[in-house]
């Protein structure tokens, strides 16, 4: 027995297609009687089983560890452990405090849990593929048919197919009758395709275009067939898709951005915290206190609430998008959704309605003619075979445009469709006893059986010149992406009850029908809206060039040069990278080519979204930054997607992209404002530590200050973004966060230092009774408590109010105002922090009551600070072309 390679390649399929029926049966040691039990065992041993391998499943414990152990959480865990040891384990009983530890580990828990949930959900994609193909098939073994589970099929089995069957393996047809196969899930083709045992084979054909091969994952629309199984399981085209889905997911823009941001914060922390420890240890002499203070500085530099703020933003964004018809399966994809600058989309059902309609019913001069539609309706309505999509479209159009109830005809006979004739006929009789044979079919066949033509109002002989005119009109319609069939009729044909193919002669060609999968009404408008928001469109389809070009013209994508799958296959990556930047329409692509183009677009620096609904789209969806599908898609496409549209409408997608940008903008508000203000505060701490004879703020005070500020920041997801911000795609750029920190952070330090001077030389001496070095130990405690309270309140005011300045490049409060929720909660946070020094809890934190003249100085300081921030912000925006 000859051995067949287990890796499916184009060459193998071409070989299977070109072999004769006898050679195919011989190759797999089978016959038309099917395999014997012994042969089944031998085939299974040689070729394996008909199961899709989905890659090695990651153990759950590994998923847990990967979710909770990241660079960002490792820093927090380390700080939490150190804090637990120093503030609880080795601390004196009266000083034991778990407040800071609880804050840190709560954030780690929230971040890890959300990551784990998303990981588990995304890993279910390959599992869903199994349920998609749990079917049985009629298999011939030992010269008799039996229904067996698809998994038990082996290479060499003879399988019987009939209407409605899902094809259980890749097969070479050995007998067919009127077989139509839907390959749309594999190829994206709009129409069912004809398959026959003695089919055509071209060297340049793609695998799915071989007429004598059918493939796992497609299904039978009509007719019947027998075929020999030539590939199973992972060897099939379907199996290749599954293997790609089980590969390791790509790192998206969002994940890369989070990682780089974490590393950036770690670098700042690694520099600042040890510096603070050394300076305070040398100047104050208490190294343990210096260490604890350095630890609080490290926590202060780390936005502890980042996981919660990001998650809250994402959940809020997902909720808002769900109301607009967009379901977010993977929360992390929201940022990528807003960052998309190239949208790759299939054609069928995305740009088009995914519904064949009768666009024109024309006479032989190319003019609309109801008579042609009436005859076509009688043919489609009265046939007894399975009505295909064209018949359904004819009947629907006739019921809309004609009074079909008044057509009192009875069917006399019919001649069914077959692939040799590529036409079908019915004979009908009206109430007066007049009979007509009406035939419809491929235009070449209709011209072949017609001797006359109804041309310019008269029935005349069908001359060569008239044929050329008809073919020219048909070609014109084909170039517009329309599928054309001819309609002919003959009055009082033959003898009733004895009709046959021989009667399909001497007919009168009366016209033709043109069908289209039309564009959605909203497509053109949606594409213009996407373009205005900086999103380029690339059409990646398995359908043919004429149909695709026609649809693209109608939706405003232009009549540019198309690139075919054959051309893509012959290009190296470097060449294809250049081509995909210049061209936007790609046709006759297989799933791997769609994935390759998507991958190369990402390598070119684009954030790529892929919108698809078929098995053939799944690999590209997985390779995109954002995989987008619809709720009517096949299961595997939905499970591979990050985002699911509740309607297959690009307008919904455009609204979703805007929501994604709004969500991303709010995330960046928090990260940039918090990182810069924390950096400014810690820079101020560095300066103060050098010159003050005491710590500028206690570790617990720093943690509590961060807590009040971060709780205020929970309102940010409910903020609005400036309209101008939403016009262009936004990418996560960790470098921009570093630049933002360096430019905007020190602006707060200027006024922190003025506050130090004010508190140390004016307010604190007035409250404590003199300069610090002249006071008693008890008076120094009061001096320090007033100083801590003054800087605590000033830090909170400046850090919170600067959110309003940094949330927009415009003038805050005047040209752009935060939402009511943000304004209310930040105001509440400021109020709580301002009242704290006057409460018992504040006293327990080491804060003292502030004098009335402090508040006048505070207002002046904050106004001056916001003015400086506004000026620096304008300079920064001019230099870097963006704020957030």
CA distance 335 to 359: 41
**Count, residues in the chain:** 884
Q: Which residues of 577-603 are buried (b: 16+ CB within 10 A; e: fewer)?
A: eeebeeebbbbbbbbbbbbbbbbbbbe
Say how many C-beta atoms besides its own lie within 10 A of residue 385's C-beta. 14
CA distance 617 to 543: 13
Task: Give how far the C-alpha of residue 368 lies from the chain's centroid of Cα atoms, to the nearest Å.
Answer: 43
Is 346 marked active-site? yes
Angle at 172 between CA 168 and CA 174, to 5 degrees: 110
Q: Answer yes or no: are the C-beta atoms of 372 and 416 closer than 8 Å.
A: no
HEC states along 132-155? HCCCEEEEEECCEEEEEEHHHCCC
Residue ranges of alpha helices (H) inside 419-570 are 443-449, 464-479, 523-532, 545-554, 565-569
Comparing CA positions, the residue from 882, 732, 651 lying closest to residue 332 is 732
Q: Answer yes or no: are the C-beta atoms of 509 and 462 closer than 8 Å.
A: yes
Beta-bridge mates of residue 430: 409
Q: Answer yes or no: are the C-beta atoms of 514 and 368 closer than 8 Å.
A: no
Comparing CA positions, the residue from 810, 661, 786, 680 lying closest to residue 740 is 680
Q: Is the backbone of residue 769 left (phi > 0), alpha (psi -120 to 50) or beta?
A: left
CA distance 373 to 438: 12
Say how many C-beta atoms besides its own lie within 10 A of residue 202's C-beta. 11
Measured in degrees and rounded to the nearest 5, phi and psi for residue 423 equal -160, 165
Q: Which residues of 62-77 are buried (b: 16+ CB within 10 A; e: fewer)?
A: ebbeebbebebbebbb
Q: Which of 178, 205, 341, 346 is catalytic?
A: 346
Active site residues: 346
């Amino acid at each position: 027995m000859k051995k067949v390679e287990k890796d499916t390649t184009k060459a193998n399929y071409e070989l299977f297609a070109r072999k004769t029926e006898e050679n195919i049966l011989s190759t797999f040691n089978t016959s038309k009687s099917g395999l014997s039990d012994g042969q089944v065992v031998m085939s299974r041993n040689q070729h394996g089983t008909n199961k899709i391998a989905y890659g090695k499943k990651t153990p759950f414990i590994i998923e847990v560890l990967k979710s909770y152990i990241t660079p960002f959480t490792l820093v927090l865990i380390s700080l939490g452990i150190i804090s637990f040891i120093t503030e609880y384990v080795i601390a004196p009983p009266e000083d034991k405090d778990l407040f800071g530890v609880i804050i840190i580990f709560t954030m780690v828990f929230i971040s890890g849990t959300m990551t784990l949930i998303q990981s588990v959900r995304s890993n279910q994609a390959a599992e869903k593929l199994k349920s998609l193909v749990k079917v049985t098939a009629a298999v011939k073994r030992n010269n008799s048919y039996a229904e067996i589970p698809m998994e038990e099929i082996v290479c060499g089995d003879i399988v019987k197919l009939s209407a409605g069957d899902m094809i259980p393996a890749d097969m070479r047809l050995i007998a067919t009758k009127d077989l139509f196969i839907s390959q749309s899930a594999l190829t994206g083709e709009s129409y069912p395709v004809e398959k026959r045992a003695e089919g055509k084979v071209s060297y340049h054909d793609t695998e799915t275009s071989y007429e004598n091969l059918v493939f796992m994952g497609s299904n039978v629309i009509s007719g019947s067939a027998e075929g020999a199984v030539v590939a199973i399981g992972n060897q099939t085209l379907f199996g290749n898709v599954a293997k790609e889905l089980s590969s390791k997911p790509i790192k998206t823009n969002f994940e890369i951005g989070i990682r780089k941001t974490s590393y950036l914060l770690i670098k700042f922390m690694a520099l600042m915290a040890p510096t603070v420890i050394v300076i305070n240890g040398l100047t104050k002499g208490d190294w343990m206190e210096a260490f604890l203070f350095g630890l609080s500085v490290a926590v202060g530099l780390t936005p502890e609430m980042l996981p919660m703020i990001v998650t809250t933003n994402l959940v809020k964004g997902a909720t808002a998008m769900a109301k607009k018809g967009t379901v977010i399966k993977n929360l992390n994809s929201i940022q990528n959704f807003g960052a998309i600058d190239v949208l790759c989309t299939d054609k069928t059902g995305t740009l088009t309605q995914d519904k064949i309609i009768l666009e024109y019913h024309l006479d032989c001069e190319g003019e609309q003619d109801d008579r042609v539609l009436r005859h076509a309706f009688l043919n489609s309505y009265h046939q007894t075979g399975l009505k295909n999509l064209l018949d359904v479209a004819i009947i629907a159009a006739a019921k809309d445009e004609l009074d079909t109830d008044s057509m009192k005809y009875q069917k006399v006979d019919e001649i069914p469709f077959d692939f040799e004739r590529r036409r079908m006929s019915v004979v009908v009789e009206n109430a007066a006893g007049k009979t007509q044979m009406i035939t419809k079919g491929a235009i070449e066949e209709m011209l072949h059986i017609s001797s006359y033509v109804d041309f310019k109002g008269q029935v005349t002989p069908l001359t060569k010149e008239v044929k050329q005119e008809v073919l020219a009109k048909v070609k014109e319609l084909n170039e517009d992406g329309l599928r054309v069939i001819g309609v002919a009729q003959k009055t009082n044909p033959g003898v009733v009850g004895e009709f046959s193919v021989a009667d399909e002669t001497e007919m009168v060609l009366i016209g033709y029908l043109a069908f289209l999968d039309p564009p959605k009404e909203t497509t053109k408008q949606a594409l213009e809206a996407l373009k205005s928001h900086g999103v380029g469109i690339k059409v990646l389809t398995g359908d043919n060039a004429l149909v695709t070009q026609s649809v693209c013209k109608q939706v405003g994508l232009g009549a540019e040069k198309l690139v075919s799958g054959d051309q893509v296959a012959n290009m190296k990556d470097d060449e294809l990278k250049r081509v995909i930047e210049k061209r936007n329409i790609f046709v006759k692509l297989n799933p791997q080519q769609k994935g390759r183009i998507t991958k190369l677009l990402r390598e070119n620096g684009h954030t790529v979204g892929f919108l698809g609904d078929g098995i053939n789209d799944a690999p590209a969806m997985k390779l995109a930054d954002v995989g987008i599908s619809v709720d009517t898609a096949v299961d595997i496409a939905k499970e591979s997607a990050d985002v699911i549209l509740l309607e297959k409408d690009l307008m919904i997608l455009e609204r979703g992209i805007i929501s994604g940008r709004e969500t991303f903008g709010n995330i960046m508000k928090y990260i940039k404002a918090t990182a810069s203000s924390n950096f400014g505060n810690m820079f101020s701490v560095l300066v103060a530590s050098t010159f003050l004879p005491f710590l500028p703020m206690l570790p617990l005070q720093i943690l509590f200050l961060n807590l009040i500020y971060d709780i205020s920041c929970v309102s940010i997801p409910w903020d609005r973004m400036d309209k101008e911000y939403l016009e262009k795609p936004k990418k996560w750029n960790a470098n921009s966060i570093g630049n933002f920190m360096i430019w905007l952070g020190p602006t707060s330090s200027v006024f922190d230092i003025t506050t130090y001077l004010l508190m140390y030389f004016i307010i604190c001496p007035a409250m404590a009774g003199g300069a610090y070095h002249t006071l008693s130990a008890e008076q120094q405690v009061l001096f320090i408590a007033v100083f801590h309270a003054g800087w605590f309140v000033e830090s909170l005011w400046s850090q919170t109010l600067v959110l309003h300045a940094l949330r927009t490049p415009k003038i805050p409060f005047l040209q752009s105002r935060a939402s009511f929720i943000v304004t209310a909660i930040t105001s509440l946070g400021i109020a709580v922090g301002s009242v704290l020094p006057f409460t018992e809890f504040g006293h327990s934190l080491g804060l003292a009551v502030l004098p009335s003249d402090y508040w006048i100085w505070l207002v002046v300081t904050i106004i001056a600070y916001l003015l400086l921030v506004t000026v620096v912000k304008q300079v920064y925006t001019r230099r870097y072309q963006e704020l957030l």
